[in-house]
Chains A and B, each alone.
Chain A
Amino acid sequence: MNPENAIEVKDLKKKFKIYFDKGHMLKERLIFANRNKHEDRWVLNGISFNIKKGEAVGLIGRNGCGKSTTLKLLNRIIYPNDGSVAIAGKVSSLIELGAGFHEDMTGRENIYINASIFGLTKKEIDERLDDIIRFSELEEFIDNPVRTYSSGMYMRLAFSVAINVDADVLLIDEILAVGDVNFQEKCFQKLKDVKQSGTTIVIVSHSLSQIEKICDRCIWIENGLIREDGAPRAICKKYLESMEYDRLERAEQEYVMQKEAEERKKKEEEEAKKQLKFQKEEAKKKAEEEERKRAKEAERKARNATCRDICSQCGPDARREGTQEIAITAAALLNHQKEECQKFHTGDTMVISCSYEKKVTEKREGTLSVCFTRSDWVYCSGFSLKLENGIKYQFKDKEQIELKIDSLPLLEGKYYIDFIMENDGEVYDALYNAIGFSVETPSRHSSGMVEIPHVWKIDGIQMKQIAYKE
């Protein structure tokens, strides 16, 4: 083993047995020998990597890609079928918090039990006891039984024990969501201290921002193989793009399936109509009512489907409403080069394009509104044609409208755009959640929802603006 390395993993392979019908009883094992048929599923197909001492590495990948298995192999909870794992020094894990806690015993006693499971001796625990209690902020309650603790207190105590086990290698599996915001921040800070002191850290997490914050390096595992290995910022970006691609593909599939289902339904309805003729009037009435309902639903669904027809960027959540007297015929979200785009950075140029057609001959006036909503349903901003001109807009027969945002002020998150054409509450056509897009904020000088344009001055000298555009 290279003395510079803390972890050396060589050609690691692991399979699990998937039993079709697993018998745990002796009888079942003997009598139904054929029930023990199983399928081997290879979770890891030979991965190799070295981690240097003091390095912090994040493992990412979709569910079931083998990253947790890798962590378990590093932790010696399970053993590989092939290949080898070598670790220099003491390993500690933040995988299971609060192992061995006994409800009836006090916080202090539980610290001893829990820490001893991590392999500390009594002397070592004595040395750390004060640190652990101070870190958990449970000084007043430490001699109360753990069953009187709230779940937050419980987790705080458990985390404090685990993080205070000084190890050479620390393995972490998705647990940084402990306690309130202040405590989370504290855990994060502590983790940074641990890293500073030279501990090698391996983290499995779905929170890419956490990985970007802590790790120097990122390994992307896919189908039991390493897909990419390198700087977190570059890899996380690629990973996100790949995930987004998958999501769109899945949405496409659902869309196709939905259409098929509708066609099937239509056929069934026709057959049902034929049958209904032979039935009594009363039943007919009822059926008609039902059918009306069904038709309504189908209509609603059809509208939804048309969302896709007018805008290829529509997600599965898109919804359409309105009288259709004036109908939107196309909508698109574009970048500064007028290409369809659903990923933006704060400060990017964004162009929203929308075409409509008036289906009635009479005059119609009103407004087009474009609204932004964040994925957690926080309404961010909305602007309409009417307000800008002060007077209502007279709709033409056919027109294309473009809305340009020079520097997108929205900060990191997922957002949806709504298009609404209406006149004093009479909705002609509305596309809710029509287009979803994600925003990334490359620099962390701002937080929250929007970046308000601002200038810093120190002693009268204006500071250089941070440019988001590259």
Chain B
Amino acid sequence: MLQKFRELYHYREMIISLVRRDLRGRYKASVLGFLWTFINPLCQILVYTFVFQFVMRTGIEQFSVYLISGMIPWIFFSSAVSGGTTCIKNQSEMVKKIYFPREVLPVSFVTSAFVNMLFCFIMIFMVIAISGRGFSPVALLFLPLVMIVEYVMALGFTFIVSGLTIYFRDMEHIVGVIMMAWIYLTPIMYTIDMVPEALVSIFNLNPMTPVVQTYQKILYYKEIPNMETLGIAALFALIIFILGFYAFRKMERNFAEEL
């Protein structure tokens, strides 16, 4: 594992180049260009705010702030994992013809989604500033920590799904369906208190629950995150990452032949 990390470090320029290419290439031909990075989640949040604050009334104070602090991290996670399914399939020409550590592809894909999220955090801070809720500087110190945890977790999942897609092509559709359901099983549009007592334990099995809760704690409640929650999130992330990493190593040997 250490050797692989060293090799990946050697290929860091490739990761950086691919991330840069992805970010710059993504909206190059469209009129609004990079602004789409903001417009897309913003519209999503506007729709959800309308539905949950005015139609279904969840009763959460300043719902839009609560929503956005969970939604932006979720969008990162879901786009990294569901988009990541095809990150190797789409580069089949390269995989078939050139040697490089195959891990580079999922790593750069998740990293580019991660950078996208960082840009979106500008929007979160703007929304919080406008709402007048204010920030807690001490709590914000924990923000990078939870981001890293989420990054590692997303990477672990992406390792698994990107490799499986090579062997089973309908993996990408399956993941799309799972992601659609998964967002409702995570306390983003509601709080965990609203979940019936009997179901809480099931909700706690969801690795994204502690991650999203930590983000909300920091941004919405302006409190230092619960260390236990953060620890569970980190443990989940680590297990998924190691699992994904080894599964990927097992699968990558035959990529060039299966593609």
Chain A residues engaging chain B, CB cutoff 8 angstroms: 16-17, 24-27, 29, 72, 75-79, 91, 93, 95-96, 99-100, 102, 104-105, 109, 112-113, 115-122, 125
Query: Which of B100, B169, B174 is the one whose CB lies under 8 Å from A119?
Result: B100
Q: Please determine whether B257 and A100 come into contact, CB atoms closer than 8 angstroms.
A: no
Q: Are B257 and A96 in contact (CB under 8 A)?
A: no
Contact, CB under 8 Å: A112 / B13: yes
Cβ A104 vs Cβ B14 within 8 A: no
CB of B24 closer than 8 Å to a CB of A: yes
Are A113 and B21 CB-contacts (below 8 A) given A75-B99, A119-B14? yes
**A102 in contact with B21 (CB, 8 Å):** yes
Q: Does B96 belong to the interface (CB within 8 Å)?
A: yes
B25: Cβ under 8 A from any A Cβ: yes
With A24-B168, A100-B21 as contacts: A116 and B98 at CB distance below 8 Å:
no
A78-B254 Cα distance, complex, nearest whole Å: 7
State whether the Cβ of B39 lies closer than 8 Å to any Cβ in chain A: no
CB distance from A19 to the nearest CB of B (A): 11
15 A-B pairs, CB-CB below 8 angstroms? A24-B168, A26-B168, A75-B98, A76-B99, A79-B254, A100-B17, A100-B18, A102-B21, A102-B25, A115-B13, A116-B13, A116-B17, A117-B100, A118-B100, A125-B13
Interface string of B2-36 (1 = CB under 8 A from A): 00000000111110111011001100110000000
Most central of B18, B25, B100 by chain A CB within 10 Å: B100
Residues of B within 8 A of A104 (CB): 24-25, 28-29
Q: Which of A78, A96, A99, A120 contacts B13 (CB 8 A)?
A: A120
Task: Collect the chain A residues with CB atoms within 8 Å of residue B171's CB.
Answer: 26
**Are B94 and A29 in contact, CB atoms less than 8 angstroms apart?**
no
B256 near A77: Cβ-Cβ < 8 Å: yes
Instruction: State in angstroms the CA–CA spacing of A365 and B183 once bound together.
Output: 97
The residues in B between 204 and 259 inclusive whose CB is less than 8 angstroms from any CB of A are 253-254, 256-257
Chain B residues with Cβ below 8 Å from A77 are: 95-99, 256
19 new A-B contacts, CB < 8 A, other than A26-B171, A99-B93, are A25-B168, A26-B170, A29-B168, A78-B254, A78-B257, A79-B253, A96-B96, A99-B98, A100-B17, A100-B21, A104-B24, A104-B29, A109-B20, A113-B14, A115-B13, A116-B11, A117-B14, A117-B98, A119-B10
Residue tally, chain B, CB below 8 Å to A = 31
What 5 A-B pairs are tightest by C-beta distance, nearest first?
Answer: A96-B97, A116-B13, A116-B14, A24-B169, A113-B17
- Count: A-B pairs, CB below 8 Å: 88
In the complex, the chain B residue whose C-beta lies closest to that of A123 is: B13
A112 CB contacts on chain B under 8 angstroms? 13, 17
Residues of B within 8 A of A96 (CB): 93-94, 96-98
> CA–CA, A109 to B95, complex, Å?
21
CA distance A189 to B27 in the complex (A): 42
Q: Is the CB of A78 within 8 A of B256?
A: yes
Q: Which residues of A contact B253 (CB under 8 A)?
A: 79
Contacts of A99 in B (CB 8 A): 93-94, 97-98
Other-chain contact of B256, A17, A72, A115, A119 (Cβ < 8 Å)? A72
- Chain A residue nearest to B169 (CB atoms) is A24
Contact in complex: B98, A95 (CB < 8 Å)? yes
Closest Cβ of chain A: how far from B33's Cβ, in Å?
Answer: 12
Q: Which of the listed residues A24, A29, A75, A91 has the most CB atoms from chain B within 10 Å of its own CB?
A: A24
| Closest chain B residue, CB of each to CB of A103 | B25
For A122, the chain B residues whose CB sits under 8 A away are: 13, 16
User: A148 CA to B234 CA in the complex, in Å?
Assistant: 48
Are B170 and A121 in contact, CB atoms less than 8 angstroms apart?
Answer: no
**CA of A102 to CA of B23, assembled, Å:** 12
In the assembled complex, the Cα of A205 lies from the Cα of B3 at a distance in Å of 35
